[in-house]
Amino acid sequence: MDALRIVRWWLLFLSYGILVLPACWLLFRRFADKGYSFARIIGYVLVAYLMFASSVVHLLKFSYISIIICAALIALCEAIIFLRRRDLAQEMLAWFRSPTFWRYAIFEELLFLALLAFWSYLRACVPDLNSLEKYMNLGFINSMLNTDFMPAVDMWFAGENINYYYFGHFCAAVATRLSGLPSDVAYNLMMATLFSATFCAVFSLSHALLSLRRKGKKLFSVIGGLVSSVMVCLSGNLHYFVYHTAATILFKLNLVDEVKAYWFADATRYIGYQPPVENDLTITEFPLYSYIVSDLHAHVMNVLPVILFLGVALCFVLSRREKTAEEPSLRALFVPSPHLVAMGILIGFFSMTNFWDYPIYMVVSLFLFVYTGWCSYGFGKKFWISTLYYMVLLYILNTVISLPFTYGFKAMFSGIGIVSQRSRFYQLMVLWGGQLLIGAVFALWLFLCNKGRDSAGNKDAIPSKFSLANFEVPDIFVLILFICGFGLAFGTEFVYVRDIYEESFPRANTMFKLSYQAFILFGIGMGYVFARLVDRKRRLWKTLLCGTLISCVLLCLISYAGNAIPTWYGKLGEDRYESLDGLGFLEEISTATINGKTVYPAADSVQWIRENTPKDAVVLEVYGDSYSERCFVSIATGRATIVGWQTHEWLWNND
């Protein structure tokens, strides 16, 4: 049964991709695979946004038919574009008929399906949605499925709407409705999709970066793409290597007295915990930890749009660099490119899904605009005008796109604070030492190798002045990722965003959200650097030395997965498979025997409420502290209760 569910879910996301494949080709024409793996993300997000906006203005009810109408509108828009540009249509059709397209499509689709099946299997080994943030996330989805018009009703605060960044959950709710699967099954499949779709999208981006070099072997483009995907989706920080692997070696050498049992979550609760620091408990999570514990939270839901944004941003930089030689006029600047518009739209999605990523990627965009402007105009008047115009345009697009969500939304933050307690240096090296080493080596190598080169990559007879235009676009793009990553990783040593947790652990949330994105930027960059430095024409011993050193660092980071995954899910060879049903735990909460027959009061009551009460019914349920087992009826049925997890409501309403 679960196999059929996985196939149905895969076909849904295949349909998402096919729907927007023409638009994807138009955006990613410069990529070797034309951005094939981004298509399913574009379709998944775009259909949901049209449904959301239509529902907010009460144009369409949130229903299966309405979603199909939204998908049809997208297809119609694509048809109009290509009917008006027959030349583009012919070029696109020629690509779809080519063997190259089918090679990429089959490879990336099989990769997605294999990873989807693998992580679905893991979820089926521990499917219960009754720990950490799972109650909240499932409750959001069920509440939306019960709501005809957005915004959705808060299942833990009857009579009010959800005041949290839930657009990512709405995307999952749309997929749930289209699939026809129970929401708890769709939840587990959605977690598997986030893992597999992110892996494939990062591969597409990193592969494109390596393929765009002036010189480079195709094999290393594939290798680098896969390494980037592994580093983003299947690696951790150096905590496991330092506190378990290295500690075990020292213990065997009688250099330390004992080695404590290792718990994989310690890598995300390190600064402020080891050693304990009063009022400075912090969080440093990364994608793999999120996939393992399977909290369908805002920062996890936004990973796919973030990778899509970086892919579009790369295409924007490439298009601007291609026009550098033409010295574009100011008039031409004010005609925004499709890539710039797409960047603004995606940043608007960030404001609805995970607001932290909005300012983060505005800053990343600023770095990219400075780079392209400097290459085109130097630091003249046109540079400042173009940079300002692009930033203002992104801000306007963000405001317009997110308006259906932000109208009536109450902010959960109360300003910026100055950090009073900072991390120890060795702790920062445990978290970021590997990334810092690879980034520093890459930056040093990049500037030494490009010293005195012209824009064609040739050595000048006369040393030329320093110019970013002489560097290859992929190199500078990755360098910007590293620079922004380090800014995010170390910025929390100076400032934090104030919220309700300020008295106990003021910078925990800030460090959590910023370091999460830093980890993604580093992961993409490290795969690129590995392939870039190894794939060079030089002496064999230098290639082997360089590859070995970087590989050692990468393996130390990847070793975390070897401990974390079995710790949570068990060894793959063990017979731990249960099912993809995430609410099976309800049958374990309480059981009774009536006339010799076993019944499950908790599960049966939930089922009865689903079948016999209106969707807007209110249930009276015992409230409780966050992360407790209270309020399972409201999350399982989507019917609102009077008040649920108190601390969560305090955060969401800042009251």
Please report the pLDDT score of residue 652 as a whole number: 81
Q: What is the pLDDT of residues 302-316, one digit of tens each?
A: 999 999 999 999 999
DSSP H helical segments within 253-337, as ranges? 287-293, 298-301, 303-322, 330-333
pLDDT tens-digit series, residues 385-394 = 889 999 999 9
User: Which pLDDT does position 628 carry in this prediction?
Assistant: 80
Single-letter code of the amino acid located at 102:
W
The mean pLDDT value for 452-480 works out to 68
pLDDT (0 to 100) of residue 281: 87
Cα–Cα distance, 501 to 297 (Å, whole number)? 18
Q: Is the pLDDT of residue 464 over 70?
A: no
The single-letter code of the amino acid at 304 is L
Query: Quick one: pLDDT band at residue 379, thresholds 50, 70, 90?
Result: confident
CA–CA dist 532, 554 (Å, integer): 15
* Confidence (pLDDT) at 330: 59
Burial of 364 (0-12, 13-18, 19+ CB in 10 A): buried
Bond prior to 151 in cis (omega within 30° of 0): yes
Distance of alpha carbon 223 from alpha carbon 203, whole angstroms: 9
Distance between CA atoms of residues 409 and 257, nearest Å: 55
| Residue 565's pLDDT band (cuts 50, 70, 90) | very high
Residue 461 pLDDT greater than 50, yes or no: no
Percent of the chain residues topping a pLDDT of 70 = 93
At 540 the pLDDT is 65
Quote the pLDDT of residue 257: 78
Report yes or no: 435 and 554 within 8 Å, Cβ to Cβ.
no
Q: What is the pLDDT of residues 31-58, one digit of tens each?
A: 999 999 999 999 999 999 999 999 999 9
Residue 378's region, left for phi above 0, alpha for psi from -120 to 50, else beta, is: left
298 vs 415, residue with greater confidence: 298
Neighbouring C-alpha atoms within 13 Å toward the C-beta of 326: 10
For 153, list phi and psi in degrees, rounded to 5: -75, 140
Which string of DSSP letters, residue by residue, matches 457-507?
SPBPSSPPPP-GGGS-HHHHHHHHHHHHHHHHHHHTTTEEE--TTTTT-TT
> Using alpha carbons only, how large is the chain's radius of gyration in Å?
25
- Provide the pLDDT confidence category of residue 452 given band limits of 50, 70 and 90: low
pLDDT for position 649: 82
Question: Is the confidence at residue 366, as pLDDT, over 50?
Answer: yes
Is a pLDDT exceeding 70 seen at residue 574? no
Exposed e or buried b per residue across 569-596, where buried means at least 16 C-beta atoms within 10 angstroms of its C-beta: beeeeeeeeeebbbbbbbbeeeeeeeee
pLDDT at 84 over 70: yes
Mean pLDDT confidence for 512-529: 95
Q: State the chain's mean pLDDT as an integer.
A: 88
CA distance 229 to 129: 27
28 Cβ contact list (under 8 Å, min separation 6): 34, 35, 38, 208, 311, 315
Question: What was the pLDDT predicted at 623?
Answer: 86
8 Å CB contact between 494 and 468: no
Q: What is the pLDDT of residue 182?
A: 95
Instruction: Give the pLDDT mean for 172-176.
Output: 97
Q: What angle do CA 405, 408, 411 make, to 5 degrees?
A: 85
Task: State the residue for tokens 């494109």.
Answer: 208
Residue 614 CA to residue 265 CA, distance in Å, equals 41
| Residues 367, 356: Cα–Cα separation, whole Å | 18
Element holding 641 (H helix, E strand): strand 640-641
Return the pLDDT at 538: 60
pLDDT at 173: 96
Q: What is the structure's pLDDT at 575?
A: 77
Please write the tens of the pLDDT for every residue from 246-277: 988 888 888 777 788 899 999 999 998 988 88
Distance of CA 522 to the CA centre of its chain: 13
| Structure confidence at residue 462 as a pLDDT band (50, 70, 90) | very low
pLDDT of residue 546: 76
